[in-house]
């Protein structure tokens, strides 16, 4: 029987810890503040931004949503970032990805004050992750995956881990976390040029799938007793669903789950952790701003 790792429950636990920290900060007159910048009207981005702002309100965080039109210039977005960098009420800033094509996303990320970069995408925070300097901010999704592994009692030390995907927001930071002194795993990072991916995956005690392809990881790629963390969120058409689509992960859950010792479902696995870790990073930023 495989354990289904309940991301909602772990996220609630993280948010309960956050709630306590928020109360402590409030006794010192500090209200952690998160600013979310949304450029354009991408429907999925609107949903993500809405849920981040709602979660902040529920927890008593100060949040600010800044919406810019789809034809906003790069300079307009930069100006907003500079204002937020200078605003003492704002401890965390994120610019929702992907922005429209006229915006140079890398340059925007570099313009965010690294001390407010709660997404953990600024080069300074990427370097701190590689250096295992805990003053930096770890990207929320891989940080959430590590917490899920911990809460599920998965021993990462000495484990063979295969991360499928090498993006800067999931795959690479996930690999760094797994190989860090906290993770101590032996890590292989696979991507679209990897040869014999099936064989590579079959060696894994832990598979983290961050590919962006629905149900890509099939039962033949997974060894008996492996732990599978499914980061993928993919919409697939489903005429029987109310919205005309349903969400599936990067793992063919129904055939893979029976082989695993533990697995995350989609939805309800990694997804809820991402927002919980964002709130956690914002609180860390508020705490660190007091010490600065």
CA angle 131, 134, 138 (to 5 degrees): 85
Q: How far is CA 160 from the centre of its chain?
A: 22
Instruction: Give me the phi and psi of 138, to 5 degrees please.
Output: -90, 135
Give the separation between CA 218 and CA 41, rounded to whole angstroms: 35
What does residue 229 show for φ and ψ, rounded to 5 degrees? -110, 120
Chosen residue from 2, 45, 234, 261 binding ligand NDP by CB under 6 A: 234
Determine if 270 is a binding residue for ligand NDP (CB under 6 A).
Answer: yes
How far is residue 146 from each of residues 2, 10, 93, 175, measured CA to CA in Å?
A: 19, 11, 23, 10
277 binds ligand NDP (CB under 6 A): no
Token readout for 25 is: 């900060």
Considering the candidates 52, 116, 128, 172, report the single residue annotated as catalytic.
52
**Least gap, CB of 87 to ligand NDP (angstroms):** 27
274 binds ligand NDP (CB under 6 A): yes
Element (H, E) at 21: helix 7-27
**Closest residue by Cα to residue 51 from 23, 81, 87, 11:** 11
- Is 52 catalytic? The answer is yes
Identify which range of 39-47, 60-68, 162-170, 257-265 contacts ligand NDP by CB under 6 A: 162-170
Catalytic residue among 55, 96, 116, 230: 96
We find the least distance from the C-beta atom of residue 26 to ligand NDP, in angstroms, to be 28
Number of residues that bind ligand NDP (CB under 6 A): 26
Q: Shortest gap between Cβ of 247 and ligand NDP (angstroms)?
A: 10
Catalytic residue, from 116, 117, 119, 172: name it.
119
Q: Does 186 bind ligand NDP (CB under 6 A)?
A: no
233 annotated binding-site participant = yes
Q: What is the DSSP letter of 114?
A: G
Decide if 254 is catalytic. Answer: no
How distant is the alpha carbon of residue 103 from its chain centre? 22
Q: Is residue 169 a contact residue for ligand NDP (CB under 6 A)?
A: yes
21 is catalytic: no
Residues in contact with ligand NDP by CB under 6 A are: 141, 164-167, 169-171, 190-194, 197, 210-213, 231-234, 250, 270-271, 274
Residue ranges for the known binding site are 165-167, 233
């Amino acid at each position: 029987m495989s354990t289904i790792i309940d991301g909602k429950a772990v996220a609630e636990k993280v948010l309960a810890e956050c709630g306590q920290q928020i109360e402590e900060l409030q006794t010192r007159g500090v209200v952690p503040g998160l600013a979310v910048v949304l450029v354009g009207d991408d429907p999925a981005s609107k949903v993500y931004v809405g849920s981040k702002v709602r979660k902040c309100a529920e927890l008593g965080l100060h949040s600010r949503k800044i919406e810019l039109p789809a034809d906003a210039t790069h300079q307009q977005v930069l100006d907003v970032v500079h204002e937020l960098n200078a605003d003492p009420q704002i401890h965390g800033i994120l610019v929702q990805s992907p922005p429209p094509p006229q915006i140079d996303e890398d340059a925007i990320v570099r313009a965010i004050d690294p001390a407010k970069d709660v997404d953990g995408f600024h080069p300074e925070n990427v370097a701190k992750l590689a250096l295992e300097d805990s003053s930096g901010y770890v990207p929320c999704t891989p940080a959430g995956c590590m917490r899920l592994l911990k809460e599920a009692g998965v021993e990462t030390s000495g484990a063979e881990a295969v991360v499928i995907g090498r993006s800067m927001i999931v795959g690479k930071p996930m690999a760094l976390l797994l190989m860090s002194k906290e993770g101590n795993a032996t890590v292989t990072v696979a991507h679209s040029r990897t040869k014999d991916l099936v064989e590579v995956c079959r060696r894994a005690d832990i598979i983290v799938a961050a590919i962006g392809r629905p149900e890509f990881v099939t039962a033949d790629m997974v060894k008996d007793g492996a732990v599978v963390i499914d980061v993928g969120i993919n919409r697939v058409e489903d005429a029987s669903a109310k919205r005309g689509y349903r969400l599936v992960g990067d793992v063919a859950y129904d055939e893979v789950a029976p082989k695993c010792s533990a697995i995350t479902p989609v939805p309800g696995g990694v997804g809820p952790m991402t927002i919980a870790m964002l709130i956690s990073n914002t609180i860390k930023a508020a705490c660190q701003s007091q010490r600065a």
